[in-house]
Amino acid sequence: MPFGCLALRDGRTYHSLSDVTDKYEIGQVLKAKEFCELCLVKERQTDKVYACKKFLKKDGRKVRKAAKNEIMILKMVNHPNILKLIDAFETRKEFYIIQELATGGDVFDWILDQGNYTERDAANVIRQVLEAVAYLHSLNIVHRNLKLENLMYYTENNHNKVVLRDFYLSRFENGSITEPCGTPEYLAPEVVARHRYGRPVDCWAVGVIMYMLLSGNPPFYDETEEENTDMHNRIIFCRIVAGDFEFDSPYWDDISPAAKELVCRLMEVDQMLRITAQDALWHEWIAGNGASEKNLKDGVCAQFEKNFAKAKWRVRRVCTLKNQLLYLLLLSISGKPITPGTTHTVLDRVLLSPPLSQTKLQTKVSSKCHMYVCMKSYCMSVYLCVHRIRVSVGQRERQSDRGRQTEKRGSFYHYMIDCVPDPLVQFTSCFNQISSTFINYTYIKSKPFLH
């Protein structure tokens, strides 16, 4: 695959940051993911816009490994349902991965926006996912992180082409893999049980995706609504290992027998008996006329909105919070003082539930900073941040097993910049006085773990 410049050089020679910026104009950070920051870049020579992942080496060995892994995998693959690698750079401090930009949005959001949604629409999505997975498996590559959130439509105007993203957990199947990783609700039984595993884990994940596309429900769920994440995962894992899923009425009453049969074969507990991606492509529901044309829109969307209401709630809260922060900005511009009390009052008014815990630190904020807010929810952390924040924290008392202790902390910077799902709101004026406020939300939905 041709590249504008060599991605990784032999030895200890690195690209300079100017190698990246001379070729690409780097835009603002749109999203902070678990291992990287996502932004848009524009190639200066052609004005083409691409997606860019920036991995910071200082974030640890796992981040460095994830970046190298994704570069290695993407340089090997070439498939219409996999976002292509355009360029890759390694500087002394970062990895930059430049890829095609998918503008069609998530499959999940597309379903919610449709007036008509049938099994045939779901089959079209699953067929393309299986084609990409079968291609990866032919190269002995295991994706290991297939989930509904990693499926996107390639363009906004044509919702016929689905593409896969996020290959930082992918691995070559050289022998059997034992390292557990992925998102709990999508994990195969052999991963949960810490057995050796390989390519069949991807087929299991496709089965989970198919189950959700047809019913709007996850196949494995926690009826107790346990609020403890560890306990919730244990309940889910027990059901996964036992293969304890059902085609519940009324959600599956109108689903074809062929669809149910393929789900069962993809979600076979015994990985040796599980259908392969290539064989699944020949299944009646994919290749034949097994998929029903009955409109499933109302039932599927109702369940999607019920099961993923917290994610949508998060989106509404983030947008509302942005509006409130803009209000604070206007107060600042008008010359009215912004005190920590005012800030917390506004936040409390916006974020009434679920209960939140705040950690208030005595801080000093640099003139270029306005505010830092962290919201943890659903399957990611949402960060709202303006420019760089320098926080000087003095002594802080904390309770420990040995009694109350005084902890001394110095100056540090916050670089996390994100606003999901909307583009980052750039605040261009300075607050006079404002404290750094941390807001933690704990939701019991898919959280990546054990990376």
Q: Which fold has domain 17-99?
A: Phosphorylase Kinase; domain 1 (3.30.200)
Q: What is the pLDDT of residues 5-16, one digit of tens each?
A: 444 444 557 888
pLDDT, mean of residues 165-194: 88
Q: Band the pLDDT of 219: cuts 50, 70, 90.
A: very high
Residue 95 near residue 89 (C-beta atoms within 8 A):
yes
- 302 versus 386: which is more confidently predicted? 302
- 339 versus 98: which is more confidently predicted? 98
User: 17-99 with 107-307: one CATH topology?
Assistant: no
pLDDT-wise least confident of 154-158, 230-234, 315-319, 398-402: 315-319
Exposure string of 362-397, with b = 16+ CB inside 10 Å and e = fewer, is ebebeeebbbbbbbbbbbbbbbbbbbebbbebeeee
pTM of the model as a whole: 0.67
Q: What is the pLDDT of residues 261-301, one digit of tens each?
A: 999 999 999 999 999 999 999 999 999 888 888 888 888 88
Residue 301: predicted pLDDT: 83
What percentage of the chain carries pLDDT values higher than 70? Answer: 63
Task: Please state which of the four CATH numbers 1.10.8.60, 3.40.50.300, 1.10.510.10, 2.30.33.40 is assigned to the domain occupying 107-307.
Answer: 1.10.510.10
DSSP bridge partners of 385: 372
- Max mean pLDDT range (33-37, 250-254, 323-327): 250-254
**Does residue 343 have a pLDDT over 80?**
no
Give CA–CA dist 292/296, Å, rounded: 10
Residue 118: predicted pLDDT: 92
The domains of the chain are located at: 17-99, 107-307, 311-440
Give CA–CA dist 379/147, Å, rounded: 11
Residue 224: predicted pLDDT: 64
- Spell out the residues 6+ positions from residue 334 whose beta carbon is closer than 8 angstroms to its own: none
**Does residue 114 have a pLDDT over 70?**
yes
